[in-house]
Amino acid sequence: MARDIVIPADAGAVVIVDLDAIAENYRLIQSTCPGAEVGAAVKADAYGLGVGPVTAALSDAGCTTFFVATPAEGTHLRKTNATAEIVVLNGPEPGNIATLLDSRLTPTLNSLPQIETWAAASANAPMEAWLHIDTGMNRLGLGPGELEALIAKPARLDGIRISTILSHLACADTPDHPMNAAQRDSFTATCELLTAITGPVRTSLANSPGVFLGSEYHFNMVRPGASLYGIRPSAERPNPMKQVVEIYTKILQVRDVDTPMTVGYGAAHQVTGTRRIATLAAGYADGYPRAAGNTAGHTEGKSMCAFIDGQPAPLAGRISMDLITIDVTDLPAALCRPGQTVELLGPNVTPDDLADAAGTIAYEVLSRLGPRLQVEYRGGTN
C-alpha cells in the first residue's frame, strides 16, 4: 500500500482508516458469537477514527446499537443516525435529562442515585434504560450493597423499563485470569435475582476480549470496540482482527552525521560513526507517542522502526512535536529523499506494536491520534 501513497504537500502525515476492514471485523465477531447481538463501542469519536464514517460502515454491516460515554457524544451521533439505539454509558444526571430525551438516548443506570434521577424524570411513558451491575471493576455500576437495596425495594424502578442488564469484565485480555469466570458467574446469578423484579431483559457482559473467551461469556449482546478497529483482543494470542489504521508521513530532509554529533532534543541520541538521518513530517502532536522514541541509541531488538518501502529504519533520538528522526544509513539512497513516503503504522507496524514500544495500549494510541493528521477513508459506501 505504501508505494501508492503520496503525502499532500500541505500535510505532514495521513491516517488511512479502512472502513471495509471495520465491517469485516464486525462480521468476524458476529460469527464468533452466533447467538448474540453485536453492539459497537464508538465512544471517543470511535476510538479516534471518526464516529460519523465508522458508525455508517457499522450500520451497513448490520449494527443497530452504539455505545458512547457522554450525552454530548450521543447527540452528535444522533444527528447522523436517526434509528440506532444509542446507549450513554456514563448515565443520567439531573442536568442532562433534557439532552437524553431530546436526542432519544438510552442511559445506563450505574447507581441508586442515577436510578432515582431517571425515575424522577418519568412522566407518562416508562423511561427506557440499561442497568449496570458491578461484578468486580469497582468503577461504574451498582455494587453489592446497592443491589441489595434495590432488590429490597423494587419500587425504586417504578417508571423505568430496564431493557438490558450489563456488567464489564476487568481481565478479559488475560484469558486464564480467574476473575473472568468469577465475574461471569456473579453476573449470571445477579441477572437471575434482578429479572424477578424487572421481568425478562437482555444481558450483556463481553467487551472485545470477552468475545474471544467463549460462548459462555456472550449472553444476549456483546459490546466490542477495540477489536472492530483492529486492536488485538489479547497480547497472549495471535490477533484475529484485520488491521484498520495506517499512518504515513514523508521525509522532509536528509543529512549525514558523524561522531561525536548528536540528534534531536537533549542530545539524547549519540551517533556512532557515519550515519544518515532522515527527518519526518510527523510528531507527537499527530499522536505518535513520544515515549516510543529511541533515546539510548540502537539497542538491538528494542528500537521502534519506521518503514520505507518495507525496509526498517530505526527511530533516532527523541520524538518532537512535529518531527521524528530516523536512521536511514542502511537503506538505499534512492529511498531517502525529501518527499519519500514513510510508514509509521501499516503492514509492518500495528497499533499494538507502537503501543508496546511506548509502554501503553493501542486503545490510547488510536484515541489520541492528532487532529492535524489528514484523514482518508477507504472502502465503505461513500
Ligand X SMILES: *Cc1c(COP(=O)(O)O)cnc(C)c1O
Q: Which of 75, 81, 183, 207 binds ligand X (CB under 6 A)?
A: 207
Inter-residue contact 152 to 194 (CB < 8 Å): no
Binding residue count for ligand X, defined by CB under 6 A: 11
Residues noted as catalytic: 43, 265
What lies within 8 Å, CB to CB, of 238 at 6+ separation is none
Q: Which of 13, 41, 241, 305 binds ligand X (CB under 6 A)?
A: 41
Q: Which of 50, 225, 230, 312 binds ligand X (CB under 6 A)?
A: 225
CB of 303 to ligand X, least distance (A): 29
User: Is residue 287 at the binding interface for ligand X, with CB under 6 A as the rule?
Assistant: no
Distance CA 71, CA 118 (A): 14
Q: Give whichever of 59 and 208 is closer to ligand X, judged by the CB atom.
A: 208
Nearest-CA neighbor of 167 among 149, 145, 182?
182
Handedness of CA 247, 252, 258, 264 (dihedral sign): negative
Q: Give whichever of 41 and 277 is closer to ligand X, judged by the CB atom.
A: 41
Half-sphere exposure of 94 (CA within 13 A, CB side): 3
Which single residue brings its beta carbon nearest to ligand X?
A: 225
Handedness of CA 173, 177, 181, 186 (dihedral sign): negative
CB of 336 to ligand X, least distance (A): 38
CB of 223 to ligand X, least distance (A): 4
Q: DSSP code of 36?
A: S
Nearest-CA neighbor of 172 among 216, 139, 230, 110?
216
User: Is residue 244 at the binding interface for ligand X, with CB under 6 A as the rule?
Assistant: no
User: Is residue 224 at the binding interface for ligand X, with CB under 6 A as the rule?
Assistant: yes
> For residue 244, how many other CB atoms are within 10 A of its CB?
26
Instruction: Write each residue from 143 to 172 as x if it is in contact with ligand X (CB under 6 A), else as -, in one continuous string.
Output: -------------------------x----
Q: Give whichever of 127 and 226 is closer to ligand X, judged by the CB atom.
A: 226
Residue with grid cell 488485538, as numbered in its chain: 232
Q: Which of residues 60-119 bind ligand X (CB under 6 A)?
A: 89
Sole window of 24-32, 116-124, 220-228, 301-309 interacting with ligand X (rule: CB under 6 A):
220-228
Q: Give whichever of 223 and 269 is closer to ligand X, judged by the CB atom.
A: 223
Q: Give whichever of 212 and 284 is closer to ligand X, judged by the CB atom.
A: 212
What string of H, E and C letters represents the secondary structure of 306-360?
A: EEECCEEEEECECCCCCCEEEECCCCCHHHCCCCCEEEEEECCECHHHHHHHHCC
Supply the DSSP string of 233-295, one letter for each residue.
S-TTS---SPP-EEEEEEEEEEEEE-TT-EESGGG-EE--SSEEEEEES--GGGT--GGG-B-
User: Is residue 226 at the binding interface for ligand X, with CB under 6 A as the rule?
Assistant: yes
Q: Give whichever of 188 and 234 is closer to ligand X, judged by the CB atom.
A: 234
Sole window of 122-130, 188-196, 222-230, 262-270 interacting with ligand X (rule: CB under 6 A):
222-230
CB of 140 to ligand X, least distance (A): 7
In the complex, the residues that contact ligand X under the rule CB under 6 A are: 41, 43, 89, 168, 207-208, 223-227
